């Protein structure tokens, strides 16, 4: 959905928010500027990961980063999330109450790589940790596993510095395989997943987690294998 349609929905949901066409135009421009800020935050974090990739490719025996992808949350999804939270659909609530508009996903070969990549990012002095949710150690009820962190990164513009929130999901290739297919099976979000299918998905997730652990142990038994262990780094600060 375009920003124009989102704003039209905003007018319908919040009659007192926008009063005339000039207000609508101004809000549309502000919305586009906000999206530019989030895109800039994504670029900043993505560049950090790409630099780490380049370093590991040139200086180390093994790269703990497999893929880096990013997205800006769909405008309609922004509206729906604000409404689920019981919040008015306003730009102010979008900026101050949502922290996952800008998102990055990193996949890694092994479980230890996930924590190593996270630690390398959090050690950088222009990164501020806002929240961490470890769904690897504490999987969701449906079997979902991933490490989620929300950070703020400083971005310099022509006349100011802005702190941009970015959600980062870091997980293994195997975890991403399960999450991607589970998402495809939920293509009809208005229909509940049958219990037997949900149970099968949970069982498959557990099997994949066991496979992840076995692959990690196999790798550690290979002479010369470089195991990037999170224990080499200080623990990150607590969440907000």
pTM of the model: 0.82
Between CA 204 and CA 197 the distance in angstroms is 10
- The reported pLDDT for the residue numbered 201 is 94
- The reported pLDDT for the residue numbered 229 is 67
Give the CA distances from residue 37 to residues 50, 106, 157, 218, in Å, rounded to whole numbers and listed in that order: 20, 21, 9, 43
Residues 226, 60 contacting (CB under 8 angstroms): yes
- The reported pLDDT for the residue numbered 98 is 92
Give strand ranges (E) for the chain: 67-72, 102-108, 127-134, 147-156, 161-172
- The reported pLDDT for the residue numbered 93 is 87
Q: Which fold has domain 23-221?
A: Beta Polymerase; domain 2 (3.30.460)
Residues of the chain scoring pLDDT < 70 = 1-27, 187-190, 229-240
- The reported pLDDT for the residue numbered 12 is 52
User: Which is nearest to 2 in space by CA: 31, 38, 39, 33?
Assistant: 31
- The reported pLDDT for the residue numbered 239 is 44
Give strand ranges (E) for 135-202: 147-156, 161-172
């Amino acid at each position: 959905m375009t920003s124009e349609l989102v704003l039209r929905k905003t007018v319908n949901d919040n009659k007192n928010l926008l009063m005339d066409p000039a207000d609508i135009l101004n809000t549309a421009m502000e919305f586009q500027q906000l999206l530019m800020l989030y895109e800039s935050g994504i670029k900043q974090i993505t560049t950090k990961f790409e630099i780490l990739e380049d370093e590991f490719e040139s200086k180390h025996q093994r790269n703990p980063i497999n893929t880096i992808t990013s997205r800006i949350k769909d405008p309609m999804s922004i509206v729906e999330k604000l409404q689920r939270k019981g919040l008015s659909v306003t730009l102010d609530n979008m900026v101050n109450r949502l922290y996952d508009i800008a998102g990055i996903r990193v996949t890694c070969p092994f479980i230890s790589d996930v924590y190593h990549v996270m630690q390398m990012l959090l050690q950088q002095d222009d990164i501020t940790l806002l929240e961490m949710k470890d769904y690897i150690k504490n999987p969701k009820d449906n079997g979902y596993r991933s490490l989620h962190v929300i950070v703020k990164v400083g971005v310099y513009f022509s006349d100011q510095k802005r702190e941009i929130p970015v959600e980062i999901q870091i997980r293994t290739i195997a975890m991403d395989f399960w999450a991607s297919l589970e998402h495809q099976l939920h293509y009809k979000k208005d229909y509940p997943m049958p219990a037997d299918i949900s149970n099968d998905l949970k069982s498959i997730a557990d099997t994949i987690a066991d496979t992840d652990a076995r692959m990690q142990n196999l790798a550690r038994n290979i002479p010369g294998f470089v195991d990037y262990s999170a224990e080499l780094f200080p623990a990150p600060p607590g969440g907000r």
